[in-house]
Amino acid sequence: MSGTSLDGIDIAIVDVTNNNKCQLIAAQTFPFPTALHDKLLALITSQQCALKELGEVDVELGQITAQAINHLLTKHQLDANNISAIGSHGQTLFHAPNSDYPFSMQIGNGNVIAEQTGITTVADFRQRDIAAGGQGAPLVPAFHSELFADDHEDRVIVNIGGISNLTLLPANKDQAVTGFDTGPGNVLLNGWIQRHQQQTYDNQGQWAASGQCNDELLTSLLDEPYFQQAIPKSTGRELFNLNWLDNKLIEFNENISATDIQATLVQLTAHSIANEIKCYLDSSKTIFICGGGAHNDYLINQIQNLLGDKKVSTTDELGLHPDWVEACAFAWLAYKTLNKQSGNMPTVTGASHPVILGAIYYASSEVS
């Protein structure tokens, strides 16, 4: 898995047992080489490139992914024969589920991954759901539902990556599971601290905690129509990026310190998450956070403040460390694909029906 934060590739080795449950065996994040990180960021930000460049970066990311997988397997004394399949999300370059010709583009070439690992690889998970009329996102709610739902308690799982998404898990199984992207998670926090402090992220939210939220700016940021849009909905860096923030700041036309803007951005992430929880599943008692945002103590405290008597915890409490939930989800989705089971949830994505997700690149050893 490598998400919108562009922090690196998360690899999880997972045992998916017959009853569909998942056990984490090993995991590691492989930060992108700086040159590749910069190339990906430039592509995503400019939305411009030559076709040759696109073809090459797709293969380059496939190679880097395969190397990381091979490295982790060696480290844990496993080899390709021990592994049934790879589920590779790849890197989203452009997510456009509402275009005239809807698509979502993930790169990290599956042919290359299968060839260089010797393991059957499932990739391109989002586009079949989009072809069936869905958003192609989020795809993790099916996994959250399988692992984290409870018969007695309404639960919410919040994945705070670059973009933040949540899954609503009602205890009553007659009520549909829902899930959607709430908006920015870490993406603006990372961008702003990079610009002003030359750091890739705000460790534990300490810089934000040293500032003051500007309530008027917060109101103006929350005025973005996406936050009011009805579900199903999904978003990405195409909308929430530093240009978006710069334009809002120009409109706002007041001098606010960079530190106070960081504090306000934390509130933006916290409010957009808390508002949706209160709107869609106010009966929930516990909120389980996963994704890198779980390490931002200041952000988590602000979410807790907004949610009053609900308990804000992490998926650690449910037996899966918050750093690896999304990577495990794509291993599980690959399992579903290879077993010809649907992986999308139409109640979440808005697709007209359940579909088998992804494209399969078989290992050479599968040739009959």
Ligand X SMILES: Nc1ncnc2c1ncn2[C@@H]1O[C@H](COP(=O)(O)OP(=O)(O)O)[C@@H](O)[C@H]1O
Site string for ligand X, 228-257 (x = CB under 6 A): ------------------------------
203 contacts ligand X (rule: CB under 6 A): yes
247: number of Cβ within 10 Å = 10
Radius of gyration of the chain (CA): 20
Helix (H) or strand (E) holding 167: strand 163-169
Indicate the SS3 state at residue 287. Answer: strand
Pick from 319, 333, 189: nearest CA to 262: 189
Site string for ligand X, 280-299 (x = CB under 6 A): -----------xxx-xx---
For ligand X, give the closer residue by CB, 4 or 109. 4
Please state whether the peptide bond connecting residue 97 to the residue before it is cis, i.e. omega within 30 degrees of 0. no
List 58, 154, 202, 224, residue binding ligand X (CB under 6 A): 202
62 contacts ligand X (rule: CB under 6 A): no
The tokens describing 240, both together, are 């929430």
Minimal distance, residue 175 CB to ligand X, in Å: 28
184 contacts ligand X (rule: CB under 6 A): no
For ligand X, give the closer residue by CB, 224 or 323. 323
Minimal distance, residue 7 CB to Mg ion, in Å: 4
Pick from 315, 259, 255, 261: nearest CA to 288: 315
- Residues in region 204-223 near ligand X by CB under 6 A: 204-205
φ, ψ for residue 246, nearest 5 deg:
-60, -45
Whole-angstrom distance, CA of residue 193 vs CA of residue 207: 8
224 contacts ligand X (rule: CB under 6 A): no
Minimal distance, residue 244 CB to Mg ion, in Å: 21
Instruction: Return the beta strands (E) in 173-277 as ranges.
Output: 178-184
Site string for ligand X, 324-353 (x = CB under 6 A): --x---------------------------
Window contacting ligand X (CB under 6 A); options: 2-10, 89-97, 143-151, 307-315 = 2-10
3 contacts ligand X (rule: CB under 6 A): yes
For ligand X, give the closer residue by CB, 4 or 127. 4
- Residues in region 109-168 near ligand X by CB under 6 A: 161-162
Minimal distance, residue 152 CB to ligand X, in Å: 29
- Residues in region 7-36 near Mg ion by CB under 5 A: 7
Cβ contacts of 168 within 8 Å, gap of 6 or more: 154, 156, 177, 178, 179, 280, 281, 284
5 contacts ligand X (rule: CB under 6 A): yes
Q: How far is CA 147 from the centre of its chain?
A: 17
CA distances from 79 to 63, 75, 123, 162 (A): 17, 10, 20, 32
Question: Which does residue 310 touch among ligand X, Mg ion, none (CB within 5 to 8 A, set by kind)?
Answer: none
Helix, strand, coil shares of the chain as percentages rounded to 5?
45, 20, 35
Q: Which residues bind ligand X (CB under 6 A)?
A: 2-5, 7, 161-162, 186, 189-190, 201-205, 291-293, 295-296, 326
Q: Which residues bind Mg ion (CB under 5 A)?
A: 3, 5, 7
